Chains A and B, each alone.
Chain A
């Protein structure tokens, strides 16, 4: 009679799922949503580029650019923990999905 009890206890219960587009769950604080780059302190040393497992980051020291290919990024946070100047952070906001415009995050020169 185990299943009957389960079924009966579920009759009076609310559904465990959410009505998604109208009811969005607040992400957890430590959720790895997207990478945020702050160019102010960056010395363009390229450590993040070396550490990145899927080669998603490209840094040029001469031209002072920092690029992240969002489609390649696996959110491992190796760059966040490896940055000597703490320029890279992770936000719990989910990254927006989209076509090509979102593929690169280019730092201002």
Chain B
């Protein structure tokens, strides 16, 4: 006989409310049923009342952690809809800020994850390093989390020479610190004992259930939107996706740690190639009626998809967002059967759930 135990919506490891109804046979999970909808805010409908420039600020507020990439993806979708090309400098600036956002998001996740398996001092260590990135965000854009640096047609903020020197110095300081963290996450006996072989998602299954981001790459599937032709700028910056083959919690942790180094490399390359010139162009008019555009980009948690449709006015006919956590929930349900109840928080955290994104 099985017992059903509700995991969440309020649970110490979950920063946001989501409920998993866990079917247990003694101590082992045999099935899980997610229930969503605790933080639904109706943002996609709310967009009807705002024009396409104002919508950017709504998209930015979908998620607190990946706000920079949400706004960039939305701006790219609208630019595609209106057939405008933004200045090259703006493209590079967007890359720098989105990679900084990825660094802080991964450091935040590493901290939360360490806290999830009971390693509190490691949690504080990760968050201490994250502060350096948050300070850069505040210094360059004016805010720590909701950066508002992007706008339709380019960026609204620019990086001065002083800012660039500070960013480069901060990254040089951060890299050895991340190396220290890597030693703990990858080599520590306690961490390995807790993570290796836990919540395994085989390669084919990960592909079939449509997992995205580090969850997919941790299972050995080589897929990163930054390598696709629509993001040609990343090719110029010598980007390589990080892939691990084991598919367990340990592999997903390693993907995120090695991605941090990739982010540092991208920021350095983007800064060295940063062209001079304008940061934005003036956009006039409104999207034509019936025009559609899809924009995809790689968030820290995986691929995000924006669909926009114009109706001839300044307002959009439809905005549809597919967020990475939404795509990763089926993968999570595949990981849970067969593990013990005590390991459920660790497995849930490895997909880096962002429920506010998912429910919008």
Contacts and interface: CB of A to CB of B under 8 A. Distances in A.
B62 to A, nearest CB: 14
A28 B134 CA distance: 12
B28 interface: no
Given A7-B121, A53-B50, A53-B58, A32 B184 contact: no
Contacts of B140: 30
Given A30-B139, A81-B156, A2 B121 contact: no
B173 interface: no
Contacts of A90: 142
B183 interface: yes
A26 to B, nearest CB: 12
A80 B125 CA distance: 39
A6 B181 CA distance: 9
Contact of B184 (A6, A51, A74, A77): A6
A92 B297 CA distance: 32
B148 A6 contact: no
B45 to A, nearest CB: 16
Contacts, number: 56
B188 A3 contact: yes
B74 to A, nearest CB: 13
Contacts of B157: 30
Contacts of A6: 121, 125, 180, 184
Interface centre among B50, B142, B146, B148, by most chain A C-beta atoms within 10 angstroms, is B142
B190 to A, nearest CB: 9
B143 interface: yes
A28 B356 CA distance: 29
Interface string A24-59: 000010111000000000000000000101100000
Interface string B101-145: 000000000000000000001100100100100000011111100
B233 to A, nearest CB: 25
A5 interface: yes
A30 B160 CA distance: 12
A28 B57 contact: no
Contacts of B187: 2
B54 interface: yes
B156 A16 contact: no
Nearest to A54: B57
A28 B58 CA distance: 25
B154 to A, nearest CB: 12
Interface residues of B, number: 27
Interface residues of A, number: 20
Contact of B57 (A2, A3, A74, A81): A74
Contacts of A54: 57
A50 to B, nearest CB: 9
Interface in B56-90: 57-58, 61
B357 to A, nearest CB: 19
A53 B142 contact: no
Interface string A1-33: 011011100000000100000000000101110
Contacts of B181: 2
A28 B50 contact: no
A75 interface: yes
A76 interface: yes
A2 B184 contact: yes
A80 to B, nearest CB: 10
A30 B57 contact: no
Nearest to A75: B143
Interface centre among A2, A7, A31, A75, by most chain B C-beta atoms within 10 angstroms, is A2
A32 B143 contact: yes
21 contacts: A2-B181, A2-B184, A3-B121, A5-B183, A6-B125, A16-B131, A28-B138, A28-B139, A30-B139, A30-B142, A31-B138, A32-B142, A51-B54, A53-B54, A74-B57, A74-B61, A75-B143, A76-B57, A76-B148, A77-B142, A90-B142
Interface of A: 2-3, 5-7, 16, 28, 30-32, 51, 53-54, 74-78, 81, 90
Given A16-B128, A28-B139, A28-B142, 9 more contacts: A5-B183, A31-B142, A51-B53, A53-B54, A53-B57, A74-B61, A75-B142, A76-B148, A78-B57
Nearest 7 A/B pairs, CB to CB:
A2-B183, A53-B54, A32-B142, A2-B184, A53-B57, A28-B139, A30-B142
